[in-house]
């Protein structure tokens, strides 16, 4: 079935028209050879060519410990672009490095002086799906989760399932020979790549597939005087001449991805034919042999059902000793997590809830998955496993999960292990350099015991997790690579561990490949004969050794040294800028920046919030990782530190951060870019001043007050001829955007005219201040009125005093002194209420987040913690106290209404977006929360003319999620409406064609009360 028939390529239509690129320089950076190379590449390819300083920094790192600037980056649009780029690079004799999402952990996508080919931008089509043949044809930039989503209607999936599947590309997986938790059952990527179209170093194009040796097809290929023929002849000779060494040296493991796959490139079929398939060599070659521009993949069926069981041990070695027994239970996955993972998860905003069920005292846990294609009865399979591992084994407790939601929570905990470990405070981190060696599972416990002895000898410790069922245990020694002593210790540990791996018949890498971390040790693993074969193989494919040099194999006399090209090495130093915000909790401004480990979670597009501007632009500079990399480059002197406060940095790096705070919760290491942005923008304002637009938006509460005073005249003023043009020319407001309207009577005035609260003190269950935020007070007081009605119906005594703003608008503009002044005034006004034990409630989530989160670093005031402890969203307050359960709601009026709920980004960052869902469901509404990204409005951002198009693009992505949610309930009957607590969200959705302005959840509760 072709892609156009199945709809699998129906992503964002006309993406090039909707993509918004930053105004990056395109020069080559002060180097005549570089400028000439860049010019020739631009003349040869249709895709973008970028050699500017920012781009080189953005592509200098990946998910590993390494960092080195490339010469520049090419974004090929198609195979012709790749071939042209390779030809130009050959003419200039410069190395080339193909790259996907850059989430690899061994330094495969770091190449000093290379021309990087970013294949994730344009070459991301799912070309064909053939359900009957269980195959798919894809380009290398396809994200694995996107492929699996397209395959799901056919009951199929791509078998390898790395933890990074929500951003990792198929091309990257081919390069690394990736795998995942289910390799116990399915093996690794090389088993599923059947054919490839490959561009070689000289720009020639070949197709790799099964070729029967000594057949007419074989004779036709090798009879030519061509590069392809030479490769085939060389590969066959190398395999046949080294047959004994291959048999002896290659480990007999399910997962061994070090070196080249000489053991798999020739095989014997069931018919007795000997078949060569160069695709098997390209898998795991890390882009050192050629650039895969298309791949034909074999697929597997999806089990109808699965079940998970977690077995808890009070000793790590006892858990590992149980692995062989666990493998006899027909589990499809056997994973391990240790107590360090649990501790870090419990301290993480995003993962604390997932670690909560793990029993106290668990030193290690085995996670077993069973699927219905392997076992007939899932409950019986789990019961048998529990009887063996707990009843008859060393496990002291177990957890079971049969429904998808509970299983997903446990898998999220497991998949978060790597980035969580990198979030450890301080410079010492559990670094990946020997982390994915593989040994036979029967030797795993003895191997780890030996590993622990090595750690003791080198006076350090490690974290343990991952794929115990196949003997691939990620062990990360804790080191401080900013110190020369620990860099040398890293090398010494690696030497000792590789000896230990050989002793236990293992492989130096069972998953993450060689890269800059492990290539140096391949001669030890494979011996001189196979090492020479690797060199000959490399020369056959890449005679000038320009394809991703230094990975997998190196030339004699030019060895790869794992101690070089470190992102944080002994020469690394960073400036600690003087800050207005308090960064003590993060260890300092620099420490917060350096928390980014490059894992690339911010490139995900299939769930959560982060990172909305990347989803709309597909630009690396729009990711949290990209912004953090540029901040780190500035504070470390890689680029001029004063660049932080340049107009270019503000516009290209910071202005596209919309302050959604998604990174605060979605980033596993907690890189709070919104906070970093506010601080740097403040520094910029101190140097360069503040624009009129920024001042106006920072003081929007005062403007809204004036608008209300002169309403309804102000509401019609912008309808006058030329008024919108004047607004655009003077303060940069987009003429297309719907502007707020104002009510003559504010919420505060309405409440004052009510003659006070309706609940007497003696009858009140509690007292609260309802904060009159700008929108609620002056533009949509009906929301505040609804909140008052609901709270008073719950016997809560309400006050709506005349309060100033929280400072949110000023904070978002980087005007920290203004925000602090407004915050102190608010604390003064609220102090009498807080002293009486009252709480403060917000209908606007961004204001709630301001007082709960931002005040802690903005204001040095003892009253902040008391306010934060007593500040709630309206629905949060109702839900936590279950006050809504005592309301008299007419469920016959609510039950016929389906609600699509879009939670506010700042609520999600605080983990508070679920409260409205619970309250509305108890009121009788059928509520479906949407796993949606930011609406793209983000306060003033969506009103600004320069950002309007990008804001609308983000809105269109939200629209897709809303429509998918509504489509899932088609045929339910009754009314379907969208509910959103955020002012910005309601504005953005209301501006979408075919959508009415959403309602606030508290308005829906009030409707039920009115009906009752």
Measure the CA–CA gap between 24 and 52, rounded to whole angstroms: 7
Q: Are 213 and 275 in contact (CB under 8 A)?
A: yes
Measure the CA–CA gap between 504 and 442, rounded to whole angstroms: 10
Which of 152-156, 426-430, 590-594, 650-654 is the least confident region? Answer: 426-430
Q: Which of 863, 871, 853, 709 is nearest to 778 (CA)?
A: 709
Measure the CA–CA gap between 511 and 177, rounded to whole angstroms: 7
For the chain, give the longest Cα–Cα distance: 99
User: Which pLDDT band holds residue 670 (cuts at 50, 70, 90)?
Assistant: confident
CA angle, corner 785, sides to 782 and 789, nearest 5? 140
CA-to-CA dists, residue 98 to 146, 180, 228, 411, angstroms: 20, 22, 20, 30
Does the structure show a pLDDT above 60 at 25? Answer: no
CA-to-CA dists, residue 648 to 684, 757, 940, 945, angstroms: 11, 52, 20, 18
pLDDT of res. 465: 87
Q: Is 924 strand, coil or helix? A: coil
Measure the CA–CA gap between 620 and 618, rounded to whole angstroms: 7
Measure the CA–CA gap between 903 and 916, rounded to whole angstroms: 9
Transcribe 454-495 into DSSP letters.
Answer: HHHHTT--EEEEEEGGGTEEEEEEEE-TTSHHHHHHHHHHHH
pLDDT tens, 115-126?
A: 999 999 999 999
For residue 371, cis peptide bond before it (omega within 30 degrees of 0): no
pLDDT of res. 415: 80
Instruction: Count Cβ atoms within 10 A of the Cβ of residue 348 and give its class: 0-12 exposed, 13-18 middle, 19 or more buried.
Output: buried
Transcribe 70-99 into DSSP letters.
Answer: -SEEE--SSHHHHHHHHHHHHHHT--EEEE
Torsion of CA 755, 758, 760, 761, to 10 degrees: -90
Q: How far is CA 50 from the centre of its chain?
A: 24
Phi and psi, residue 882, nearest 5°: 50, 35
Measure the CA–CA gap between 744 and 558, rounded to whole angstroms: 77
pLDDT of res. 416: 79
Mean of the pLDDT values across residues 508-535? 96
Measure the CA–CA gap between 148 and 158, rounded to whole angstroms: 6
> Starting at the edge strand that comes first in sequence, how are the strands of the sheet with 274-276 ordered?
211-212, 274-276, 266-268
Which of 8-17, 875-884, 893-902, 1002-1011 is the least confident region? Answer: 8-17
pLDDT tens, 718-761?
A: 889 999 999 999 999 999 999 999 999 999 999 999 877 789 99
CA angle, corner 111, sides to 108 and 114, nearest 5? 130
pLDDT tens, 325-369?
A: 999 999 999 999 999 999 988 988 778 889 999 999 999 999 999
pLDDT of res. 96: 98
pLDDT tens, 607-633?
A: 889 999 999 999 999 999 999 999 999
Transcribe 564-577 into DSSP letters.
Answer: SSBSS-TT------
Cα-Cα-Cα-Cα dihedral sign, residues 940, 941, 946, 948: negative
Q: How far is CA 450 from the centre of its chain?
A: 35
Strand partners, 871: 840
Q: Across the chain, how many H-helices and E-strands are there? A: 48, 28
Measure the CA–CA gap between 112 and 453, rounded to whole angstroms: 36
Q: Which residues contact 317 (CB under 8 A, 6 or more apart)?
A: 445, 448, 449
pLDDT of res. 968: 56
Transcribe 813-840 into DSSP letters.
Answer: TT-HHHHHHHHHHHHHHHHHHHHTT-EE
Which of 150-159, 943-952, 974-983 is the least confident region? Answer: 974-983
Task: Count Cβ atoms below 10 Å from residue 852 Cβ, excluding itself.
Answer: 22
pLDDT of res. 186: 96
For residue 712, cis peptide bond before it (omega within 30 degrees of 0): yes
Q: Which of 497, 435, 500 is nearest to 467 (CA)?
A: 435
pLDDT tens, 374-430?
A: 999 999 999 999 999 999 999 999 999 999 999 999 998 888 787 778 778 889 999
pLDDT of res. 424: 82
pLDDT of res. 387: 98
CA-to-CA dists, residue 967 to 322, 897, 900, 921, angstroms: 46, 15, 11, 20
Phi and psi, residue 773, nearest 5°: -65, 165
User: Which pLDDT band holds residue 2 (cuts at 50, 70, 90)?
Assistant: very low
Measure the CA–CA gap between 779 and 757, rounded to whole angstroms: 22
For the chain, the 3-state helix, strand and coil shares in percent, each to the nearest 5, are 45, 15, 40
Per-chain mean pLDDT for the chain = 93
HEC string of 711-752 equals CCHHHHHCCCCCHHHHHHHHHCECCCCCCCCCCCCCHHHHHH
Q: Which residues contact 719 (CB under 8 A, 6 or more apart)?
A: none
Q: Which of 574, 537, 13 is nearest to 242 (CA)?
A: 537
Measure the CA–CA gap between 452 and 460, rounded to whole angstroms: 9
The tally of CA atoms less than 13 A away on the side-chain side of residue 256 is 22
Q: How far is CA 409 from the centre of its chain?
A: 17
Mean of the pLDDT values across residues 199-227? 97
Task: Count Cβ atoms below 10 Å from residue 961 Cβ, excluding itself.
Answer: 16
User: Which pLDDT band holds residue 967 (cuts at 50, 70, 90)?
Assistant: low
Measure the CA–CA gap between 176 and 512, rounded to whole angstroms: 6
Using the CB atoms, write b or e for 363-382: b if 16+ within 10 Å: bbbbbbbbbeeebeebeebb
Question: For the CA atoms of the chain, what is the radius of gyration?
Answer: 30
User: Which pLDDT band holds residue 896 (cuts at 50, 70, 90)?
Assistant: confident
Mean of the pLDDT values across residues 955-980? 79
Strand partners, 907: none
DSSP letter at 348 equals S
């Amino acid at each position: 079935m072709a892609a156009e028939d199945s709809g699998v390529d129906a992503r964002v239509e006309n993406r090039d028209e909707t993509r918004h690129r930053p105004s990056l320089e395109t020069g080559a950076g002060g180097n005549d050879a570089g400028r000439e190379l860049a010019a020739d590449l631009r003349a040869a390819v249709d895709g973008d060519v970028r050699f500017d300083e920012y781009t080189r920094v953005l592509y200098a790192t990946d998910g590993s410990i390494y960092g080195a600037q490339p010469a520049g980056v090419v974004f090929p649009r198609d195979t012709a672009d790749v071939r042209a780029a390779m030809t130009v690079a050959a003419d200039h004799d410069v190395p080339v490095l193909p790259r996907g999402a850059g989430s690899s952990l061994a330094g495969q996508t770091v190449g000093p002086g290379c021309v990087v080919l970013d294949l994730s931008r344009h070459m991301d089509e799912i070309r064909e799906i053939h359900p009957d043949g269980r195959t798919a044809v894809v380009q290398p930039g396809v994200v694995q989760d996107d492929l699996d989503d397209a395959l799901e209607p056919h009951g199929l999936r791509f078998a390898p399932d790395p933890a990074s599947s929500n951003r990792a590309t198929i091309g990257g997986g081919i390069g690394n020979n990736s795998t995942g938790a289910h390799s116990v059952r399915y093996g690794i990527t090389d088993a599923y790549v059947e054919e490839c179209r490959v561009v070689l170093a000289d720009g020639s194009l070949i197709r790799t597939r099964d070729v029967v040796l000594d057949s007419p097809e074989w004779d036709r290929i090798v009879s030519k005087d061509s590069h392809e023929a030479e490769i085939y002849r060389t590969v066959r000779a190398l395999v046949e001449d080294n047959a004994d060494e291959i048999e002896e040296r290659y480990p007999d493991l399910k997962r061994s991805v070090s070196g080249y796959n000489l053991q798999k490139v020739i095989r014997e079929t069931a018919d007795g034919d000997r078949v060569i398939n160069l695709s098997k060599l390209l898998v795991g070659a890390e882009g050192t042999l050629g650039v895969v521009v298309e791949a034909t993949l074999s697929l597997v069926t999806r089990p109808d059902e699965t079940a998970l069981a977690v077995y808890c041990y009070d000793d790590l070695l006892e858990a590992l000793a149980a692995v062989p027994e666990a493998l006899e239970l027909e589990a499809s996955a056997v994973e391990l997590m240790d107590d360090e993972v649990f501790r870090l998860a419990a301290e993480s905003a995003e993962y604390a809830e997932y670690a909560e069920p793990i029993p106290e005292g668990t030193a290690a846990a085995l996670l077993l998955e069973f699927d219905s294609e392997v076992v007939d009865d899932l409950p019986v399979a789990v019961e048998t496993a529990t009887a063996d591992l707990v009843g008859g084994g060393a496990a002291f407790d177990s957890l079971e999960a049969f429904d998808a939601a509970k299983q997903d929570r446990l898998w999220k905990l497991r998949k978060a292990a790597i980035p969580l470990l990198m979030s450890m405070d301080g410079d010492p981190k559990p670094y990946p350099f020997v982390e994915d060696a593989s040994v036979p599972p029967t030797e795993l416990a003895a191997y780890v015991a030996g590993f622990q002895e090595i750690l003791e000898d080198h006076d350090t410790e490690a974290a343990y997790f991952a794929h115990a069922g196949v003997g691939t245990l990620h062990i990360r020694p804790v080191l401080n690579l900013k110190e020369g002593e620990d860099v040398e210790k890293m090398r010494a540990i690696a030497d000792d561990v590789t000896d230990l791996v050989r002793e236990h018949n293992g492989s130096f890498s069972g998953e993450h490949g060689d890269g800059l971390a492990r290539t140096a040790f391949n001669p030890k693993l494979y011996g001189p004969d196979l090492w020479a074969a690797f060199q000959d193989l490399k020369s056959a494919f890449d005679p000038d050794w320009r394809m991703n040099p230094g990975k997998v194999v190196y030339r004699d006399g030019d060895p790869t040294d794992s101690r070089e090209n470190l992102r944080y090495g002994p020469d690394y130093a960073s400036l600690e800028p003087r800050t207005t915000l308090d960064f003590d909790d993060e260890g300092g401004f620099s420490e917060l920046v350096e928390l980014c480990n490059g894992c690339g979670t911010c490139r995900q597009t299939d769930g959560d919030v982060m990172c909305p501007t990347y989803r709309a632009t597909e630009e690396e500079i729009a990711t949290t990782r990209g912004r953090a990399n540029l901040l780190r480059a500035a504070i470390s002197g890689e680029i001029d530190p004063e660049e932080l406060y340049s107009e270019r940095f503000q516009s290209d790096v910071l202005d596209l951060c919309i302050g959604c705070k998604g990174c605060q919760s979605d980033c596993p290491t907690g890189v709070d870019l919104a906070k970093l942005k506010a601080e740097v923008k403040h520094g910029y304002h101190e140097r360069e001043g503040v624009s009129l637009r920024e001042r106006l938006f920072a003081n929007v509460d005062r403007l809204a007050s004036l608008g209300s005073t002169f309403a309804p005249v102000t509401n019609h003023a912008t309808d006058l001829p030329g008024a919108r043009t004047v607004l655009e020319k003077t303060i940069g407001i987009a003429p297309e955007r719907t502007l707020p309207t104002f009510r003559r009577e504010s919420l505060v005035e309405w409440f004052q005219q009510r003659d006070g609260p309706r609940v007497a003190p003696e009858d009140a269950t509690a007292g609260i201040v309802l904060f009159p935020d700008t929108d609620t007070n002056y533009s949509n007081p009906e929301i505040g009125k609804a909140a008052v009605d609901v709270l008073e119906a719950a016997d809560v005594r309400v006050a709506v005093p005349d309060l100033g703003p929280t400072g949110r608008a000023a904070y978002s503009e980087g005007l920290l002194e203004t925000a602090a002044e407004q915050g102190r005034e608010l604390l003064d006004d609220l102090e009498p209420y807080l002293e009486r034990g009252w709480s403060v409630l917000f209908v606007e989530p961004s204001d709630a987040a301001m007082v709960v989160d931002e005040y802690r670093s903005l204001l040095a005031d003892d009253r902040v913690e008391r306010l934060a402890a007593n500040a709630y969203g309206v629905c949060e307050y109702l839900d936590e106290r279950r006050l809504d359960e005592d309301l008299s709601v007419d469920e016959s009026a609510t039950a016929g209404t389906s609600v699509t709920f879009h939670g506010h980004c700042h609520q999600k960052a605080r983990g508070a977006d679920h409260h409205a869902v619970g309250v509305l469901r108890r009121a009788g509404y059928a509520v479906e929360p949407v796993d949606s990204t930011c609406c793209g409005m983000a306060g003033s951002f969506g009103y600004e003319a320069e950002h309007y198009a990008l804001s609308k693009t983000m809105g269109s992505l939200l629209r897709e999620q809303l429509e998918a949610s509504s489509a899932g309930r088609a045929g339910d009957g009754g009314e379907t409406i969208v509910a959103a607590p955020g002012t910005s969200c309601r504005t953005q959705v209301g501006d979408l064609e075919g959508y009415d302005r959403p309602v606030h959840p508290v308005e829906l509760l009030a409707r039920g009360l009115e009906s009752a």
